[in-house]
Amino acid sequence: MKVLFVTSSTTTHGGGSKSFLQMLLGLVSYGIDPLVILPDEKGLFQVLQQKGIACIATRYQYKMSVYPNMRTLKDVFLFIPRLIYRFIINNISTIQLLKITRQFQPDIIHSNVSVIAIGYYVTRFYKIPHIWHIREYGDLDFGFHYYPSRSAQIKRYKQTHSHTICITKDIQRYNELENWCHSHVIYNGILSKESSLYNNLKKNYFLFAGRLEKAKGILPLIDAYAEYCKNVEEPIPLYLAGSGIAEYVKIIHEQITQHQIDKHVIFLGMRDDILTLYKDAKALIVPSSSEGFGRITAEAMFVGCLVIGKNAAGTKEQFDNGKEMLGEEIGLRYNSKEQLVQQLIYVTNNSLESIEPIILRGQQVAIQLYATEHNATHVYNLYKQIVSK
């Protein structure tokens, strides 16, 4: 079976790229013949070449099918020119993809995210099945606004030749797809079953991992952590692993200074050893209110890290899955700043032995639900179902 994949970027640090690569390698083991389309020859493109997977970078870097950002006055002035530029580049890329598709003759075109539409337009022309892999809320988590509208995007999902893979039930609900017969919930594959680890010699730090931006809840976390510092004699340091735009990182630094907690908060930048950081941490804190799936949550549980998570979106769904499977909590939830402060104090004042059962339950659930072996099997079975019709 031939499948043409269209990716949104070549970053190797993003959750969507990591999940895509894990899925793709699993599908190749099932005999899928892939061709991956990427916007440039960086990062992920080079990884695929090293692994011997066929890939093509388009002549021009195609853009997301969303409106340009309007964060600054400059953005406002350039809005129309940028919108026209996106329209032109995406049309040129669609024409190139039409030629590639004619030569490759795939059975399915699989778009790795919901914000890239060029694959969808090509499938309409050739009348072959298209899969939207919906890994994001779009507006709630990234601040995207679909072009021409969100309602138009939902209509695209529900075309007769379209199928959707939603990475959580909540994303499926948010996109009004619960009752659409071509919509399926398949959780991301995180790590192989053989990759589970547990370190009972934790180091003394709390960890935040992810983009340093508003949607990730970093400022509310800083507020809660400052309150926590006032309530314990020796605060556990907070490590921030990730990067963000300079303007927002400056705001974070200013808030830390305002709270006078500079000596307790350590910026690590973007890291390639994130699994080790999870494994050694006292706890991972996930403060986002709109986490699409929460790859960091699943990764952390996989390697035996306690998760303190906002009881919302993908994080809540993962906690709920664990509660349903085992009858007990697999992490520490919170709904408010006050509750987060209490959870941080709880971890500080209790031994690892007393918290260990929660950690091991989380690991058990992560292995059962989010192993890469399960993800690839579910996607492959969906492919077979689609092409058999």
Q: Which helix (H) or strand (E) holds 65?
A: none
Other beta carbons within 10 angstroms of residue 91's beta carbon come to 13
Residues 132 and 199 grouped into a single domain: no
- Quote the pLDDT of residue 4: 98
Asked whether residue 18 carries a pLDDT value surpassing 90, the answer given is no
Q: Tell me the H-state helices in the chain.
A: 15-29, 43-50, 73-77, 79-104, 118-126, 139-142, 150-157, 169-174, 218-231, 246-259, 274-280, 295-302, 313-326, 337-349, 352-370, 372-387
CATH value at residue 59: 3.40.50.2000
Higher-confidence residue: 180 or 142?
180
Residues 225 and 292 grouped into a single domain: yes
What is the pLDDT averaged over residues 223-233? 96
* Measured CA distances, 244 to 36, 223, 310 (Å): 28, 19, 21
25-34, 185-194, 257-266, 296-305: range with lowest mean pLDDT: 185-194
Confidence of residue 16 (pLDDT cuts 50, 70, 90): confident
Q: What whole-number distance in Å separates Cα of residue 157 and Cα of residue 175?
A: 9
If one counts the domains in the chain, the total is: 2
Residues 204 and 156 grouped into a single domain: no
Asked whether residue 195 carries a pLDDT value surpassing 80, the answer given is no
- Quote the pLDDT of residue 68: 92
* Average model confidence (pLDDT) across the chain: 94
Q: Which helix (H) or strand (E) holds 146?
A: none
Query: Looking at residue 195, what DSSP letter applies?
Result: G
Residue 233: partners with Cβ closer than 8 Å, 6 or more residues away? none
Q: What whole-number distance in Å separates Cα of residue 328 and Cα of residue 343?
A: 17
Domain limits for position 308: 193-370
Residues 365 and 383 grouped into a single domain: no
Residues 366 and 377 grouped into a single domain: no
Residues 243 and 366 grouped into a single domain: yes
Taking only the tens place, the pLDDT of each residue in 46-85 is 999 999 999 999 999 999 999 998 878 888 999 999 999 9
Task: Give pTM, 2 decimals.
Answer: 0.85
Residues 141 and 233 grouped into a single domain: no
Task: Give exposure, 171-193, as e/b (b: 16+ Cβ within 10 Å).
Answer: bbebbebeebebbbbbbbbbbee
Residues 206 and 151 grouped into a single domain: no
In one-letter notation, the amino acid at residue 274 is I
Most confident range (mean pLDDT) of 71-85, 183-197, 315-329 is: 315-329
- Quote the pLDDT of residue 138: 86
What is the pLDDT averaged over residues 143-158? 92
Q: Tell me the H-state helices in 232-294.
A: 246-259, 274-280
Residues 123 and 201 grouped into a single domain: no
Residues 289 and 246 grouped into a single domain: yes
- Quote the pLDDT of residue 140: 83
Q: Side by side, which strands form the sheet with 2-6?
A: 55-57, 33-38, 2-6, 108-111, 130-134, 162-166, 183-185
Residues 180 and 272 grouped into a single domain: no
Residues 343 and 214 grouped into a single domain: yes
Helix 313-326 × helix 295-302 angle, to 10°: 40
